[in-house]
Chains A and B, each alone.
Chain A
Amino acid sequence: MEETMFIDPQRCIGCRACVAACRECATHKGYPMIFVDYIDRAETTATVPTVCMHCKEPTCALVCPADAIKVSDDGVVMSALKPRCLDCRNCVNACPFGVPKYNTEIHLQMKCDMCYDRSSEGLKPMCASVCPTGAISFGKYEQIVPLRRTKPVNVHVFGNQKVETKVYLMLPTDADEVKVDGCGVFEGMLTRAGSETAESWIDTQVEHSDKSNEF
């Protein structure tokens, strides 16, 4: 299996070495593309790092009107290509993990590309290299998972959207997927008479619009 990232929030000590190190990658121009947040500092010192999860079907790339976000053969979702990026920020708004950021200084969307310039040469990404605790690790599934007492999960459910990712979250649970609850907002909304599933509803819309454009 190819190398990927394993994120273990339990281990995160909130030091942001990953953020500092991310800036060091020559292609990042001093901008970090990883985020570390307190969950609720009033209650706990717990923190969590957010990197690009490198979705198998990346929403950011799907919504890009200019096809500026490419996926490498080994499944790494790249930053927007500078000549193509339209500054529309669709990807920024669409990513369920909130990862891509729009950089107003250089007019470009930027996101974690798993340090492609490093990982494609056999080096670990900067964040996974420096992380003191292993909250961010980079390696092969079969090398990392047996060493841990946490379970690797790479299926995330956001309301009705199910996202499978190249990056694994290491969780102290038996769950097979992470459910990010849509608070029931989406439940049932997309299932109604005439359009049984989201997909068929979209098909109907597309069909309809296609027809309306015909003379």
Chain B
Amino acid sequence: MSRVEHLEQIIEEYGPHLHDAPHGGWRADRVIDRVVPTHCPYCAVQCGMNLLVENDHVVGVEPRYDFPVNEGRLCPKGVTAYLQVHHPDRLLHPLIKRNGRFERASWDQALDLVVAKFKELQTKHGPDSIGVYSGSSLTTEKTYLMGKFARAGLGTRYVDYNGRLCMVSAAAGNNKAFGIDRAANPWSDIPLADVLLIAGSNCAETFPVLNKFLWQQRDNGGRWIIVDPRETATARQGDLHLQLKPGTDVALANGMLHVLIEDDLIDQAFIDSRTNDWDATRELAHRYSPDVASQICGVPAQKIVDAARLYGRARTALVMHARGIEHHTNGVNNVLSYINLVLATGKIGAPGRGYGTITGQGNGQGGREHGQKADQLPGQRSISNPEHRKHVCQVWDLPEAELPQAGVSVVEMFTKMREGEIRGLLSICNNVMVSLPDTNDVRRSLEGLDFYVCIDFFMSEGARYADVVLPGSAWSEDEGVTCNSEGRVVKINKANNPPGEARPDWWIVQEIARRMGRGKYFSFNSPLEIFNELRVASRGGNADYYGITWEKIEKNNGIFWPCPTEDHPGTPRLFEDRFYHPDGKAKFHAIEYNPPNEVPDEEFPLILTSGRVVYQYLSGNQTRRIGFLVEQCPEPYVEVHPETAARLKINDGERVRVVSRRGDGVFPVLVVRTIRPDTIFIPYHWGEQLAVNQLTNPALDPTSKIPEFKACAARIEKIHSRQLPILGRQRKGASASEVKRG
């Protein structure tokens, strides 16, 4: 009976409230006891930063100039990250919902209730009646623990992680093409590339510090080809901006491949010696002339030719992509069609020549390596491979029969909740009411549960639905490793103790397992002990961490996996000699263009795409509480091209209703020439009635099971709102619907 009955009271008590000063206020007379070198809790650049600690409180941040990735640089989220640590909204003790209200409970009461409910459900409905939904903003130790907890602690097959909503299409595409899932090149290769082809990534807003490398490349005389339906801050500086229709990447990439073949810009020797399945791909590309591609993707044919020639003639070049091409029902195909360009020109496996996905979450890479994914075991092993199962069961000392089979993706898990197959849920490190597609269905899933327990350090929109909320730790309150987008494993260090009765996440999870009678598999006393078991569990797998130690990471500013032995230096650049398929070759995939699941029609004539802004991180559970960030971007808006706005007779700042087949929401209009006339854009970081995911399409990619966040059909309706339009500089201040108390 996981319902929200007293929303006002929950917001009053747990926020989001705005907080904008360090513990004890802005002061010049601080006595800093310790400076803790660590990394940012947010995106996958994993910038180094120094936290200033006074009296067990994190009171400030100082650039960490000596960390080679960012050399002191930070984005506004990174600068203000420490303000979440002592935020007044922090959850300080366990909460049990009684009669619709959260009441303070002791750890024993809360944990005993969780265990009693889990046992009851599993006795009545079987072990698979409990689902575990984890996340990739956790340290790798915790992500490893969550996979083990679901399988060995609860014995359920249903475990998945929020990377499913992030870069899982890239993971699947990489595995298909290369036999391994990791960016192929370190970022130090970016300045060495003559040309960068960046598809579906507004890295200026989503990975700001990555732009350091982009501009180094530019300073060296390099060129940028940017593929994006919007003229973003990234695309604005592109030498070529291919402003395609959302979801038509396959046509564009095939068109480019066609030109590469016609102009003989391919590397036949590379294709012959290091790849398979070229012929089918070549034949397919033959049909995608620039004109054909242009008809589909809406990019002028000449620009497709120019882009192909620029990329093809470059001596060195990198292809990078992100969510823009991955959040589609054709996500994996989009990825594979860009990889075809890389393989056809042989531009991979050498300095300045390569390919990589720009991972999203801080530990997006590490979180998809060690077994919290529905079909995966530690070390990027497969849960359906008997050899892999055997290895992991040996490490865990678990009878093989007790290791469940593969589960399903999170969107499918939420369907199973509505169908009654999953009756209980444990979630950590996610905010389902913001991040999953089709919010209204997600609400029905949560309300249909018999029992929902959420571990978090803030009351997220999703946690409001929980029966029990357990207060976990913020990033500065625990230690462990993360793996950044280049495959560099870095170390997060502890700066302060969790406030109040909040506990480290790994302690909470272990305590549940222990009370479930599965304590023998969970006797870790520290994250280091978890890491050391993870090293052994990943040994021999693709993502081999065996040779990585915490000391080695600190000494070398991070270690790139695979690192099979303790004297191995790590592997910054992949594919120099071989790919990871058994025959050492990479695979082409002949990809036919398919439209997105939903295309515009008379009723819903616009393409709605969603994305991020630089001031908010993912579901906003952390960043929507920090005054500075909220002030810069207090609420979502809908970007509309002036031609479309004129046709619909809507003005800048006016509130309109945006409607799709699944729901609707009211958003202020931002009239901008930087978007295609047939496309509208809404950023997604907000919940409840501000969520763009009320509208988005939960249709899934057949392989990666990623939902189609980036393209659905929608329409705009004019409403006669009494609210005044928000204009220009007045787009400031807290959003009234979100923040009740300042």
Contact between A24 and B219, CB atoms less than 8 A apart: no
**Cα A14 to Cα B75 with chains together (Å):** 10
Q: In chain B, residues 657-696, which have Cβ atoms closer than 8 Å to a Cβ of chain A? A: 670-674
Contact A17:B75 (CB < 8 A) given known A26-B30, A129-B63:
yes
The 8 Å CB contact of B76, one of A17, A42, A126, A133, is A17
| Interchain Cβ contacts under 8 Å between A and B, 30 examples | A10-B237, A14-B204, A15-B204, A15-B208, A16-B632, A17-B79, A17-B208, A20-B76, A20-B628, A21-B79, A23-B26, A23-B628, A24-B60, A30-B25, A30-B26, A41-B670, A41-B728, A42-B652, A43-B672, A44-B231, A44-B674, A45-B674, A124-B72, A126-B63, A129-B65, A129-B72, A130-B63, A130-B73, A132-B75, A133-B211
Query: Does B407 touch A at the CB level, under 8 Å?
Result: no
Contact between B212 and A134, CB atoms less than 8 A apart: yes
Main secondary structure, interface of A, reads: loop
Contact between A20 and B79, CB atoms less than 8 A apart: yes
Contact between A42 and B673, CB atoms less than 8 A apart: yes
Most buried by A among B74, B204, B219: B74
Query: Does A89 touch B at the CB level, under 8 Å?
Result: no
Query: Does A11 touch B at the CB level, under 8 Å?
Result: yes
Contact A41:B72 (CB < 8 A) given known A11-B215, A27-B28, A147-B219:
no
Nearest CB of A to B72, in Å: 5
**Cα A45 to Cα B31 with chains together (Å):** 41
Specify the chain A residue showing the minimal Cβ separation from B26: A30
Contact between B236 and A45, CB atoms less than 8 A apart: yes
Contact between B72 and A130, CB atoms less than 8 A apart: yes
Chain B positions within 8 Å of A, measured between CB atoms, are 20-21, 25-28, 30, 60-63, 65, 72-76, 78-80, 204-205, 208-212, 214-215, 218-219, 221, 231-234, 236-237, 614-615, 628, 632, 642, 652, 670-674, 728
Query: Does A149 touch B at the CB level, under 8 Å?
Result: yes
- How many A residues, CB 8 Å from partner? 35
Most buried by A among B72, B205, B652: B72
Specify the chain B residue showing the minimal Cβ separation from A28: B26
Contact between B672 and A41, CB atoms less than 8 A apart: yes
Contact between B209 and A132, CB atoms less than 8 A apart: yes
**Cα A46 to Cα B237 with chains together (Å):** 9
Q: In chain A, residues 114-130, which have Cβ atoms closer than 8 Å to a Cβ of chain B? A: 124, 126, 129-130
**Cα A59 to Cα B646 with chains together (Å):** 45
Q: In chain A, residues 10-62, which have Cβ atoms closer than 8 Å to a Cβ of chain B? A: 10-11, 13-17, 19-21, 23-24, 26-30, 41-47
Contact between B628 and A132, CB atoms less than 8 A apart: no
Most buried by A among B25, B215, B728: B215
The 8 Å CB contact of B21, one of A10, A13, A30, is A30
Leading 10 A-B pairs by shortest Cβ distance: A30-B26, A13-B204, A20-B79, A132-B208, A129-B63, A20-B76, A13-B233, A130-B74, A26-B28, A133-B211
Query: Does A148 touch B at the CB level, under 8 Å?
Result: yes
Contact A45:B231 (CB < 8 A) given known A15-B614, A26-B30, A132-B208:
yes
Nearest CB of B to A171, in Å: 15
The 8 Å CB contact of A20, one of B80, B218, B237, is B80
Specify the chain B residue showing the minimal Cβ separation from A36: B632
Query: Does A131 touch B at the CB level, under 8 Å?
Result: yes
Specify the chain A residue showing the minimal Cβ separation from B237: A10
Contact between A133 and B215, CB atoms less than 8 A apart: yes
What residues of chain A lie closer than 8 Å to B670, measured between beta carbons?
A: 41
Contact A16:B215 (CB < 8 A) given known A44-B236, A44-B674, A45-B674:
no
What residues of chain B lie closer than 8 Å to A14, measured between beta carbons?
A: 204, 233, 614
**Cα A16 to Cα B652 with chains together (Å):** 23
What residues of chain A lie closer than 8 Å to B221, measured between beta carbons?
A: 149
Contact between B72 and A24, CB atoms less than 8 A apart: no
What residues of chain B lie closer than 8 Å to A130, measured between beta carbons?
A: 63, 72-75, 78-79
Interface string of A140-159 (1 = CB under 8 A from B): 00000001110000000000
Nearest CB of B to A33, in Å: 14
**Cα A23 to Cα B61 with chains together (Å):** 11
Query: With A17-B76, A132-B73 given, can you name 17 additional A-B contacts, CB distance below 8 Å?
Result: A15-B205, A17-B208, A19-B76, A20-B76, A24-B61, A29-B26, A30-B20, A30-B26, A42-B671, A43-B674, A124-B65, A126-B63, A130-B79, A132-B208, A132-B210, A133-B215, A134-B215
